[in-house]
Amino acid sequence: MRRPVPGAGRPAVLRAGLAVLLFTALTGCSGGVGSWFDGAPRSPEEAIRVVPEDDARDVRAGSPLEVTVPEGRLERVKVLRVEDAERQEVRGRISADGTSWQPDAADASARLVLAAKYTVHAVAVDEDGKRQARTTSFTTFVPEERFIGYFKPENRSTVGTGMILSFSFNRPIRDRAAVERAIRVTSRPAVPVVGHWFGKERLDFRPRTYWKPGTRVTADIRLRDVQAAPGVYGIQHKTVGFTVGRHQTALVDAAAHTMTVTRDGEVLAEVPISAGTAKNPTYNGKMVVSEMQDVTRMNGRTVGFGGEYDIADVPHAVRLTSSGTFLHGNYWARGVFGSRNTSHGCIGLRDVKGGSESTPAGWFFDRTLIGDVVEVVNSTDRNVAPDNGLGGWNMGWDQWTAGSALR
């Protein structure tokens, strides 16, 4: 028996859905925006300014780190430093007038360090009480004779059964076999885990099928002094891992405008959605949740759509691809969920401005883990590329293993 989404006020099939966000400021899709925003909003860069700039590389240790707003006030700022899959929050303070955030000068851990990746997520409120968000990232300098791999998921995290381990290297890897051999991935209970290279800078690992709930996965990283290219050596020597939680999947039928959420073999709910239009359809295939934000900004210019939309406060954003496909809350569209596809390629659920746990979007967000799989069927678009986000489940096992440098 199908269960209703809590708080939706109707049994069995609910009314929901439309569009999404991204990790390094790529932001996906929207539809039916119309005149939801009074006047032309500032661009994300103008509304919330971050130093170092988005996607900066080789930032030197000790460089300034600051978030400012020319108008309104900062509501919250969260800065994370990632080193060897360890995420540590950088402590800082918002100024008394709310116009700036800076790291805590008394905290040594707040200083920029070498060979690290930083993400900045800031939310600001203008004079009319309207929220807007911005997410940026940058990496600090790695000595030219060294290389480092940035690892997903976070160390000691609990993830969904579709999680794929992904290493992104800061330099092209010439001796891929040596690097792959130096990363040993094991699990309890034990299953074969094989690596697959996407180009020269990315190596993903997965088993033949989804992980069994409760599995503990360990990556033994022994890259220190491994030669990846002439004169370029690794610096990492660490063991990281994660635990697999319950098994949850979401099946999106773009033609029927529904999403069926199943956990451990039981259907939790069937939720109405709105997917991509015929002009901008949603990808088919299996996509793995790789990031979640309670609020984000979506700007069509960041993904090649020009000035078609710029929404400052999209709620409950669940990232599915690196190219900008999201599953997110939608408060501006009316009468489309369960009946029409209106987005630029994202999947939308009914929501309210500011987000609410009682809406379909809030309900799904609260029950989702990074590593959960969202599969789209019956769209008019092609299958999502295996290297677009964590899309490796769209490859058969033989094709996957053929991409290993050790086979």
Which residues are identified as catalytic?
A: 328, 346
d(CA 257, CA 275): 7
Which residue in 283, 270, 312, 308 sits closest to 295, CA to CA?
A: 312
Beta bridge pairs of residue 227: 233
Cα 349 to Cα 16, 154, 286, distances in angstroms: 5, 27, 19
Q: Residue 41: enclosing H or E segment and its boundaries? A: none
Count of other CB atoms within 10 angstroms of residue 156: 12
Cα 48 to Cα 89, 133, 277, distances in angstroms: 20, 8, 31
Which residue in 102, 63, 53 sits closest to 79, CA to CA?
A: 102
Q: Are 379 and 325 in contact (CB under 8 A)?
A: no
Helices and strands (H and E) in the chain: how many: 4, 29
d(CA 379, CA 311): 25
Residue 144: exposure state from Cβ atoms within 10 A (0-12, 13-18, ≥19): exposed
Coil, strand or helix at 368: coil
Q: Are 284 and 27 in contact (CB under 8 A)?
A: no
Q: Are 66 and 100 in contact (CB under 8 A)?
A: yes
Q: Are 347 and 275 in contact (CB under 8 A)?
A: yes
Cα 22 to Cα 66, 69, 348, distances in angstroms: 21, 21, 15
- 235 contacts: CB under 8 Å, gap ≥ 6: 115, 142, 146, 147, 148, 223, 224
Write 265-269 long-range contacts (CB < 8 A, 24+).
Answer: 267/2, 267/3, 268/3, 268/367, 269/2, 269/3, 269/4, 269/5, 269/14, 269/363
Structure tokens at 220: 């033994």
Structure tokens at 132: 């807007």
